[in-house]
Amino acid sequence: MNYKLSKIKYGTGKTSVITNLSIPDSQTVNDICYIEGVGIAFIYGNQLGLADFSGKVDYSFISNLNKPLSLFYSEQSHRCYIFENGGRSLRYFTRGFDYLMPFLGDEYSRLMKKDLRMLTDDIETIVRGCVDYYEEIYATHNFLNRCIRFRGSEYSYFAGNGKYGEIVSSELLSSNFSGPQGISFLNGELYVSDTGNNCIKKILKGKMDMFLNNVKMPSKMVAKNKLIYFISNTVNICYLSLDKSSNCIFSSNNLVSIDMDNNKNLFILEKE
């Protein structure tokens, strides 16, 4: 199966192809992730590949993963996090690519590792994740209609009461989600694409508000520098500014994933 990795330059709208990916027909690319100063990581099968900005591709940069589902990058720690659906685990590697280790690291005690296994029991249906300024990780739990927060070896349900519905309450654990997918941290606020409810919600200081309503099936979301990009209705890429102005900037029936860099340039992966 062939994929096209492209870049849309912010401010000009000019689209350029970075490279084409050739993936075995039995496998699909699930997600991409921009890694500052390095390139675009992508996951498929049980592997993580890397495409640099010259178009060179390493298809087996990291092997022996267990059904990786999604990726996200931390600018603070320069870590790229990987959710493994098969292993129910969260792992990371550094921007220097010196190692791949279980989340929290091998230097922790056996008891901590036991806690880690307990922590990862609920990661099976996590869809997306993001990191805040303090390296706390937030993730959407699609089937349980909740958001999870990780603090070291501890995790908790951060928002959503686990019920399917449309209730928006200022109390986080009283609100309903409907298959939440995208999640991003921007300017001290957390944004969640509530896919089944066709809206984007904002969480600030322990309270939830409706940020943008009547958005058709928002899914993956990326945010930096006062700008949010998100996929809508599986085929459209829209931008959303903090003043709530929004518009579609790109459409493709073969859209797979998106990410962005610090200059607001957009990276797009499509099937060909």
Q: What is the pLDDT of residue 90?
A: 79
Residue 74 structure tokens: 């931390």
Residue 107 structure tokens: 């230097």
Q: What is the pLDDT of residue 29?
A: 96
> Nearest-5° angle of CA 129, CA 135, CA 137?
25
User: What does each C-alpha distance from 97 to 110, 135, 186, 198 come to in angstroms?
Assistant: 25, 19, 26, 38
Q: What is the pLDDT of residue 22?
A: 96
Cα atoms in the 13 Å half-sphere on the side-chain side of 226: 3
Strands 227-232 and 207-212: unpaired
Q: What is the pLDDT of residue 272?
A: 92
May I ask the CATH class of domain 2-271? Answer: mainly beta
List the chain pLDDT tens, one digit each, 272 residues. 999 999 999 988 899 999 999 999 889 999 999 998 889 999 999 999 999 888 899 998 888 888 888 999 988 888 888 888 766 777 777 765 443 333 333 433 232 222 223 334 445 566 788 988 888 889 998 878 888 888 766 778 888 887 776 655 556 777 788 889 999 999 889 999 999 999 999 988 888 888 999 899 999 999 998 899 999 999 999 988 888 888 899 999 999 999 999 999 999 999 99
Residues 6+ apart with CB under 8 A from 263: 10, 225
Q: Sketch the domain layout of the chain as residue ranges.
A: 2-271
